[in-house]
Amino acid sequence: MNRSPLTLNIMTAVLAPGDAIGNYIFTKARIFRDWGARVNLYADFVDPAYAGRASPSSFYRATGEALLWYHYSIYADNVEIARQSADYTVVDFHGISPPHLFAGQDAHLQHLCQKGLDLLPALADDFDLAVVHSEYTRRQLLDNGFAANTVYKLPLCVDTSRFSGAEDEALAARLSQLEYLLFIGRIVPQKDILALLQIFAHVHARRPQTVLILVGSRHLAGAYQRQLDTYIRRKKLGERVLFTGQVNNPAVLAALLNHACLLLVTSEWESFCVPVVEAMYFGTPPVVHQIPPLPEVTGEGGIIIDKAQPEAAANKILHMLAEKDPYDTLSARARRRAASFTDEALRRALLEMLQQAFGDRQ
């Protein structure tokens, strides 16, 4: 493959700012361009912010001499384009949300997730190679008929460069006076915010000065929001639980992440969870539920809990809040763990994968 410049076509369902898969795609595209490849980006929906940087999927033309790298996280129309491509094809599997998580909330998303899962076994024969980002998603592919020697694991590069500027100084000054726990993500049943609140209620009972800040949109699941508000009122947590809404400003996010004591993740399902890595980048240890792949992503940089035992989970949090030396040790480990998901880590893993997959073709 080194005899002439490689043409790499990258295709996904949606390219929009702030999306973890999109950030990974642009990082990967930059790496391949650094290596001299010609890179084209395609998506069924291209956000206007990316006009000129990506094209509609219908513009893609297979030549039989290029590489098509298809990102799969939900059923999208362009998966049929990828399946029929004459180019060498790679499916980059990010995991598909269990459809039941959208039941009663979003019937269309529930349908697309179910369709995506139903199609997965057929993709084993349609793509030449597969890429995953955790052992959890590797097992999913193997269970759906993918051959083990065609599946490669790459680190999901997390774009922390957006935090390279200064944090919001006014906000940072206020946050530095607080002892707070942090959540970042959509306020939806998948994230099981109710379990998070149940854990926090035990923390609050023994450490009433601690605050919980939840960063994320609340407009996606109205009935669930009412359930959360009811629980907060019943437990008299209203003055200690703060919903900020969605935050996109990097300087504000940097301040929130940098001054938090711990990040809390109690999701029902995750394919990766970018906020875990972002928190570790700032030395803020994550506390994560034991479902895969959260323990794998966290590594030695955080704390593993069982959300079904909220008091025991709270005890682990309280220990970290009370003991400086163990906390400082964990914070240092978190920073080291975050280095596993940098541009350079992805670059090294990509090179190793290409050498293994195509070395005999050079």
CATH number of domain containing 180 = 3.40.50.2000
Question: Quick one: 243 and 101 in the same domain?
Answer: no
The mean per-residue pLDDT over the stretch 171-183 comes to 96
Whether residue 2 is contained in a domain is answered as no
Per-residue pLDDT band at 362 (split at 50, 70, 90): very low
Whether residue 251 is contained in a domain is answered as yes
Summarised one tens digit per residue, pLDDT across range 219-274 is 877 889 999 999 999 999 999 999 999 998 999 999 999 999 999 999 999 999 99
Question: Quick one: 141 and 173 in the same domain?
Answer: no
Whether residue 141 is contained in a domain is answered as yes
Question: Quick one: 218 and 281 in the same domain?
Answer: yes
Summarised one tens digit per residue, pLDDT across range 121-149 is 999 999 999 999 999 999 999 999 999 99
One-letter amino acid at 354 equals L
What range defines the domain where residue 317 resides?
165-340
Whether residue 59 is contained in a domain is answered as yes
Lowest-pLDDT range, 14-28, 33-47, 186-200, 296-310?
A: 14-28
Among 333, 345, 341, smallest CA distance to 283 is for 333
Asked if 298 and 337 count as a contact pair (C-beta separation under 8 A), the reply is yes
Question: Quick one: 331 and 186 in the same domain?
Answer: yes
Summarised one tens digit per residue, pLDDT across range 293-326 is 999 999 999 999 999 999 999 999 999 999 999 9
Give the pLDDT of residue 2.
45
Among 91, 49, 94, 93, smallest CA distance to 68 is for 91
Whether residue 1 is contained in a domain is answered as no
Question: Quick one: 149 and 180 in the same domain?
Answer: no
Summarised one tens digit per residue, pLDDT across range 160-173 is 888 887 899 999 99
Give the pLDDT of residue 36.
95
Give the pLDDT of residue 3.
59
**Number of alpha carbons in the 13 Å side-chain half-sphere of residue 173:** 2
Walk across the sheet containing 88-93 and list its strands. 55-56, 38-46, 7-15, 67-72, 88-93, 129-132, 151-153
Question: Quick one: 354 and 229 in the same domain?
Answer: no
* 341: pLDDT strictly greater than 90: yes
Question: Quick one: 248 and 111 in the same domain?
Answer: no
Question: Quick one: 146 and 282 in the same domain?
Answer: no
Question: Quick one: 149 and 277 in the same domain?
Answer: no
* 50: pLDDT strictly greater than 80: yes
Could you tell me the pTM of the whole model? 0.90
Whether residue 335 is contained in a domain is answered as yes
Among 266, 105, 306, smallest CA distance to 185 is for 266
Give the pLDDT of residue 159.
84
Question: Quick one: 57 and 178 in the same domain?
Answer: no
The mean per-residue pLDDT over the stretch 85-96 comes to 97
One-letter amino acid at 161 equals S
Whether residue 57 is contained in a domain is answered as yes
Question: Quick one: 327 and 193 in the same domain?
Answer: yes
Asked if 303 and 286 count as a contact pair (C-beta separation under 8 A), the reply is yes
* 289: pLDDT strictly greater than 60: yes
Question: Quick one: 55 and 84 in the same domain?
Answer: yes
How many folded domains does the chain comprise?
A: 2
Whether residue 301 is contained in a domain is answered as yes
Give the pLDDT of residue 1.
42
Coil, helix or strand at residue 196: helix
The mean per-residue pLDDT over the stretch 202-228 comes to 93
